[in-house]
Amino acid sequence: MSSAFKISVTKMDFGVSEELTGKVYDAIIIGGGPAGMSAAIYAARYGMSTIIITEEIGGQVAKAGWVENYLGYTRIMGPDLVTKFEEHVKYYNVPIIIDSVENVERDGDLFKVYTINGDEYTARTIILTVGEKKRKLNVPGEDTFNGRGVSYCAPCDAPLFKGKVVAVVGGGDSAASAALLLTEYASKVYIIHRRNQLRAQKYYQDLLLKNPKIEIIWNTVVKELQGDKLLRKAILQRVDTKEVFELPLDGLFVEIGAEPPVDLFKRIGLELSQDGYIKVNHLMETSIPGIYAAGDCVDLTPRDFRQIVVAAGQGALAAYSAYNYIIKKYGFNRR
């Protein structure tokens, strides 16, 4: 098969060609993480005309450190695993459009997808795999020093801090993974955590405690970030004693979790959980017939088990359900 083409679209661009916007797709996949990539592969294998619309390829996996629990890879960096995903999707000639979806509306039996660049796409089914957005600290100085010491992606920026002193804010798996990766470059790595114990799995905790470069600052939150042209220090406060103190730093990596794009889901009219995740059944069907969802944006138990392999499996199942929906509604001869 021929390789797929990837169309990069920005706000300054003139948009995509009518070749892509002027047809009806069997499935439009919104989101390019492991769930979306997996859905694209399965949809293509079912013979469904498919495109992916995503703000970025790989989602949170592209920002992950070492991945050591994905089947087939003993140890691989998140961005490298994303490259493998993309190569697999390209093999099936599924176009990947870099754009942001603003809304999805029903148009008779079809769906219209509207993007921030003013483009409009039409599909018989929609598969939402938009994942989550990383949370920010929302403290003074965070935006000022974003890209000048503050980072939300350890694999992207860790090499910039060779021999430097850095800190990771958070206590889960992503924070632990980021801290371990940073020890390969930085001279000292602090973990700042608001509680007195980490949420990270025991495997990570054992590695953290054994690493001489890592020091954990317990029961502490970040109140402010200060510096000149670059980040120079963090103002911290103890949760228990309310003591305020300074921590000299060259870099701060924020790993405090993520949240779904609730506003988009509400515009579409999907039924959501109380905290904004898409409610789906065991077939990844949402409250709107013809719209499916998979990955970190869905409300499935256990929600605290965010794993690449789970997202990929859900994406495959969403494509399977979308295919069955189309066959029942349109039959095989739908072109």
The active-site residue out of 26, 99, 119, 153 is 153
Half-sphere exposure of 24 (CA within 13 A, CB side): 11
The active-site residue out of 99, 119, 157, 250 is 157
Residue 297 annotated among the catalytic residues of the structure: no
Nearest to 280 by CA among 127, 125, 54: 127
CB 148 within 8 A of CB 230: yes
For residues 246 and 123, what is the distance between their CA atoms, to the nearest angstrom? Answer: 54
CA pseudo-torsion sign 77, 80, 84, 85: positive
- Residue 216: beta bridge partners? 191
Query: What CA dihedral angle connects 78, 84, 86 and 92, to 10 degrees?
Result: -160
Q: Which two tokens stand for residue 75?
A: 């140890």
For residues 182 and 226, what is the distance between their CA atoms, to the nearest angstrom? Answer: 21
Sheet strand arrangement including 231-238 = 220-227, 231-238, 244-248
269 Cβ contact partners less than 8 Å away, ≥ 6 residues apart: 287, 288
For residues 198 and 195, what is the distance between their CA atoms, to the nearest angstrom? Answer: 7
Q: Which two tokens stand for residue 219?
A: 């029961």
255 Cβ contact partners less than 8 Å away, ≥ 6 residues apart: 134, 152, 154, 168, 169, 170, 172, 174, 175, 178
Residue 299 annotated among the catalytic residues of the structure: no
CB 213 within 8 A of CB 189: yes
Q: Which two tokens stand for residue 1?
A: 């098969």
Count other C-beta atoms under 10 Å from residue 15's C-beta.
Answer: 15
Residue 240 annotated among the catalytic residues of the structure: no
The active-site residue out of 143, 156, 206, 263 is 156
Kindly list the catalytic residues: 153, 156-157
